[in-house]
Amino acid sequence: MLRHLLVGIAVVTSVSLTQAATLSPIIEASDLDALVQQQAVKIVDIRGDVKAFAQAHITGSVQIPYGKFRGPAENPGKLPELTQLAAIFGAAGLDLSDSVVVAHEGKNSSDFGAAARVYWTLKSVGFENLAVLNGGVKAYQSAGFAMASGVPQVLATSPTLVFNNQWYASTADVQAETQNPGTRLLDARPADFFNGKAWHGAASKPGALPGADNLAFDAFFAPKSPFLKAQGEVVEIVKANGLDTANTISYCNTGHWAATNWFVLSEVAQVPDVKLYAESIVAWSNTDSRMDNVPSAIQFAVLKTKKWFNELAN
């Protein structure tokens, strides 16, 4: 039973938070609701459906669709220009001093990856107090907390963004680190991608970074669940896979699934020196750099034919 009635059409003017909350990287719906009541956080709703957002969103939310944080079709993992991001954040009324919770839709674990990528972006450009809503908007609404409707009206800001590359690895960085035995390259993709049997449409070929290890991002979730496992369980998985040592670069196809592994290692398990290769295999495969698990020309032709027939059947 809903604890509150659905709030009516919302016309909200963005003002300074009454008392900015101190956030941990993961926040549960019940804890977020308490902060919403205190007007202590701003929520960035990254769902792409404008109509769904207008029908129901968490009070205090602004909508910035996930696509706004992504690069062009030929390189989706690329970070947008800082001036572009500053304009987007300013139009949403965000200030670097805000406590910000990133809310994904909450359908599945891949949705969490979108929120983790947004969290990484916000942290990298200067936001210091951040969290991801565990289970997303669906979890918050399912818990019976009040939802607002309408399109919030916000007071624009003018944030000045400076990129901090502490958590970022470029293609050149990765090329250098492939020669460093003290650096772990961690592939967050499902096994078929790592083993060269599947590939992203913008990648020139299947395969993996040379010498990489593979731990698919969904290892940190129960099957078909959008909820990240409890911190203790997450840390145990990290330790069991020998990932609790410094100097890891997380990658996938476009820096989406890899953002979950980066988030888990860097923010939840507090492993030092974890970076995200944002452009990932799509960018790497379009260079002349060596790759592992690349199928032969004949094998690749067979894989492409199978993929074509599967897409045709669906």
The length of the chain in residues reads: 314
Question: How, if at all, do strands 61-63 and 42-45 pair?
Answer: parallel
Report which of 99, 95, 96 is spatially closest to residue 20, judged by C-alpha positions: 99
Is residue 213 classed exposed, middle or buried when 0-12, 13-18 and 19+ CB atoms within 10 A define those classes? Answer: middle
**What DSSP state is assigned to residue 208?**
B
| pLDDT tens track for 66-82 | 999 999 999 999 999 99
Tokens of 159: 């944030």
User: What does 252-287 look like in DSSP terms, one character per residue?
Assistant: -SSSSHHHHHHIIIIIIS--SSEEE-SSHHHHHHTS
pLDDT at residue 300, rounded to an integer: 87
**Structure-token match 């040592």, residue found:** 245
Q: How many angstroms separate the CA atoms of 82 and 59, rounded?
A: 28
Q: How many angstroms separate the CA atoms of 102 and 192, rounded?
A: 30
pLDDT at residue 15, rounded to an integer: 44
First to last CA, the chain: 39
pLDDT at residue 21, rounded to an integer: 82
Question: How, if at all, do strands 129-133 and 99-103 pair?
Answer: parallel
pTM (2 decimals)?
0.92
Q: How many angstroms separate the CA atoms of 89 and 148, rounded?
A: 21
Positions of the chain with pLDDT under 70: 1-19, 314
| pLDDT tens track for 210-252 | 999 999 999 999 999 999 999 999 999 999 999 999 999 999 9
pLDDT at residue 8, rounded to an integer: 37
Q: Which amino acid is at 56?
A: A
Q: What CATH class does 26-148 carry?
A: alpha beta
Is residue 242 classed exposed, middle or buried when 0-12, 13-18 and 19+ CB atoms within 10 A define those classes? Answer: exposed
Q: How many angstroms separate the CA atoms of 132 and 88, rounded?
A: 19
**What DSSP state is assigned to residue 228?**
B
3-state DSSP helix/strand/coil percent for the chain, to nearest 5?
35, 15, 50
- CATH, domain range 165-313: 3.40.250.10
pLDDT at residue 125, rounded to an integer: 98
pLDDT at residue 314, rounded to an integer: 66
Q: Do domains 26-148 and 165-313 have the same CATH topology?
A: yes
In the chain, where the domains are located: 26-148, 165-313
Question: How, if at all, do strands 61-63 and 57-58 pair?
Answer: unpaired
**Cβ-contact 34, 99 below 8 angstroms:** no
pLDDT at residue 201, rounded to an integer: 93
Q: CB within 8 A of 124, min separation 6: which ones?
A: 79, 163, 164, 165, 166, 167, 168
